[in-house]
Amino acid sequence: MTKNVNLKSVAKGGLLDRRFFLKKGFVFSVAAMASDKLLAEAKKYRQPWMEKPGDSFSNYGQPSVFEKEAIRWTMANKAAAGNGVSWTPLQNLEGTLTPNGLHFERHHNGVPQIDPKIHQLFIHGEVKKSLVFDMDSLLRYPMVSRQCFIECGGNSNAGWRDEPIQTAVGYFHGMVSCSEWTGIPLKILLNEANITPRGKWVIVEGGDASIMNVSIPLEKIMDDCFLAIYQNGERIRPENGYPLRLIAPGWEGVVNVKWLRRLHLSNRPAMSRNETSKYTELLPSGKARQFTFVMEAKSLITNPSYGHQLDKTGFYQISGLAWSGRGKIVKVEVSVDGGKNWGETELQKPVLSKSFTRFRIPWHWTGEKALLKSRAIDETGCVQPEREKLIAERGKNGYFHYNAIVSWKISNKGEISHVYA
Ligand SMILES: Nc1nc2c(c(=O)[nH]1)N[C@H]1C(S)=C(S)[C@@H](COP(=O)(O)O)O[C@H]1N2
Ligand SMILES: [Mo]
């Protein structure tokens, strides 16, 4: 067994060692053979797709037909037509960016098909100059690009249940995705509108059938909010807000209003449905949490995770995602013995603020029972809490903002289940 550099070898659950590949190096080859024999084998290896020309060009590419499992799982909600969610299959993805066709969706009343030639954006209220824009005029403004995650405030809410849900990580935590968004900083347009001293909140309204609205403090709007027009280089997909959406980096999904049509400057919040009857939660003290915009530090191991099967002992790469609405992730630790020992993982560079951060660490599985956990720490010092601690603070009335540590139990047969531990 290797001598560990920065991690402890643990009795149960095997060994975690970030430097293992560097120190030892090893081969996961199907077979090992001499070079001349291997060359002969390679020459013999011919498949049908090498015998004739392949398919022709396509106007818009699609994933391989062998990747049918990497799809969004959809879940309709009977509250209204077109209300529901589709989830990002986090268990099938790597790196930090979510492909556009797999970005999670949350609609209150379906996806409108908005004609960009007639779409308009109105800015009015506590401004000296009311403004109306069409898409052509917006496209003339200077733009910025920023990679950031969007997470629904209700993501991971199955964690509040008494029994741990047994489902793929994406179907539990996949109401979060990460894209490079490109658009116009809102402060440019609002400075043009010239806000009056009474303008302290911006009431943001969408142009879908739900005409959803939310209130955002002016400070946040002027700090880093922008109007996105492009998503990962192409125009935003209809389901993610085409032709225009608001991006409020690090803040809960609901304030990232899609199909944006109106910005109303006001001296107070609108007290709309999504900031009173929803997204307001009673604490054990009897007080309520309201306007809890920021998504707290969170992480989860996506591989291995529920639904995967470890069928051999030996090396696996533990890989997962971490993010925080407060800024950059500075550290992600992983434990394979249920939290007794923790090892520091390698973070994929560059680590960006309010964005997905990919962490990885090699793990030697000995074939014994193991209990995998990950714990994120952000640059403000926020540490992802254990579930017990979160529930002690927030009580059992929680529904939103669940960010507790996730635990995967590995049986001695290599089966993976979700546990509270
Ligand atoms: N106009 C409008 N904006 C909306 C919504 C909506 O239903 N209508 N849903 C909100 C919610 S609750 C979330 S979590 C995010 C989801 O964004 P996405 O569908 O692009 O992932 O959009 C928000 N913006
Ligand atoms: Mo949401």
pLDDT at 27 (0 to 100): 57
Among the listed residues 231, 201, 205, 374, the one whose alpha carbon sits nearest the alpha carbon of residue 293 = 201
User: Would the CB of 210 count as within 6 Å of ligand 1?
Assistant: yes
Choice from 106, 213, 236 to test ligand 1 binding pocket (greatest atom count within 8 A of CB): 106
Q: Whose CA is nearest to atom 16 of ligand 1?
A: 106
CA distance 281 to 287: 8
pLDDT at 170 (0 to 100): 97
**What number of other Cβ atoms are within 10 A of residue 149's Cβ?**
24
- Please report the atom of ligand 1 found closest to the CA of residue 107: 7
CA distance 159 to 420: 9
- Please report the atom of ligand 1 found closest to the CA of residue 205: 1
User: Would the CB of 205 count as within 6 Å of ligand 1?
Assistant: no
User: Would the CB of 183 count as within 6 Å of ligand 1?
Assistant: no
pLDDT at 4 (0 to 100): 39
Choice from 227, 256, 279, 399 to test ligand 1 binding pocket (greatest atom count within 8 A of CB): 256
CA distance 211 to 190: 22
Q: What is the CATH number of domain 298-419?
A: 2.60.40.650
Buried b (16+ CB within 10 A) or exposed e, 35-64: eeeeeeeeeeeeeeeeeeeeeeeeeeeeee
pLDDT at 284 (0 to 100): 81
Model confidence over 197-240: pLDDT tens digits? 999 999 999 999 999 999 999 999 999 999 999 999 999 999 99
pLDDT at 324 (0 to 100): 98
User: Would the CB of 172 count as within 6 Å of ligand 1?
Assistant: no
Element (H, E) at 302: strand 298-303
Q: What is the mean pLDDT of residues 100-127?
A: 97
pLDDT at 3 (0 to 100): 37
User: Would the CB of 257 count as within 6 Å of ligand 1?
Assistant: yes
Q: What angle do CA 47, 51, 55 make, to 5 degrees?
A: 100
Tokens standing for 417? Answer: 């289940």
Model confidence over 316-370: pLDDT tens digits? 999 999 999 999 999 999 999 999 999 999 999 999 999 999 999 999 999 999 9
Choice from 148, 176, 212, 236 to test ligand 1 binding pocket (greatest atom count within 8 A of CB): 212
3-state helix, strand, coil in the chain (%, to 5): 15, 30, 50
Look-up: residue for tokens 């993805």?
Answer: 93
CA distance 9 to 364: 10
Q: What angle do CA 330, 333, 339 make, to 5 degrees?
A: 145
pLDDT at 415 over 90: yes
CA distance 125 to 194: 11
Residue 223, CB-side half-sphere exposure with 13 Å CA sphere? 9
pLDDT at 20 (0 to 100): 61
The DSSP-derived string for 228-240 is: EEEETTEEPPGGG
DSSP 72: -
C-alpha pair distances (Å), 153 with each of 157, 295, 414: 9, 7, 33
Q: Whose CA is nearest to atom 20 of ligand 1?
A: 240
User: Would the CB of 204 count as within 6 Å of ligand 1?
Assistant: no
Dihedral class, residue 65 (left if φ above 0, else alpha if ψ from -120 to 50, else beta): alpha
User: Would the CB of 252 count as within 6 Å of ligand 1?
Assistant: no
User: Would the CB of 112 count as within 6 Å of ligand 1?
Assistant: no
- Domain residue spans of the chain: 120-279, 298-419
Look-up: residue for tokens 């099938």?
Answer: 92
The amino acid at residue 237 is R
Q: Whose CA is nearest to atom 18 of ligand 1?
A: 105
Q: How many helices (H) and strands (E) does the chain have?
A: 7, 25
User: Would the CB of 107 count as within 6 Å of ligand 1?
Assistant: yes
Instruction: Classify domain 120-279 at the CATH class level.
Output: alpha beta
User: Residue 398 — very low, low, confident or very high, per pLDDT cuts 50/70/90?
Assistant: confident
User: Would the CB of 256 count as within 6 Å of ligand 1?
Assistant: yes
Residue 99, CB-side half-sphere exposure with 13 Å CA sphere? 13
Among the listed residues 104, 122, 128, the one whose alpha carbon sits nearest the alpha carbon of residue 179 = 104
User: Residue 11 — very low, low, confident or very high, per pLDDT cuts 50/70/90?
Assistant: very low
- Please report the atom of ligand 1 found closest to the CA of residue 152: 14
- Return all residues near 331 (Cβ < 8 A) that are at least 6 apart: 344, 347, 376, 377
Tokens standing for 301? Answer: 């191991």
β-pair type (120-125, 260-266): parallel
Model confidence over 136-176: pLDDT tens digits? 999 999 999 999 999 999 999 999 999 999 999 999 999 99
- Please report the atom of ligand 1 found closest to the CA of residue 211: 1
Distance 177 CA to ligand 1 centre (A): 12
User: Would the CB of 108 count as within 6 Å of ligand 1?
Assistant: yes
Tokens standing for 167? Answer: 């489902």
Q: Whose CA is nearest to atom 6 of ligand 1?
A: 107
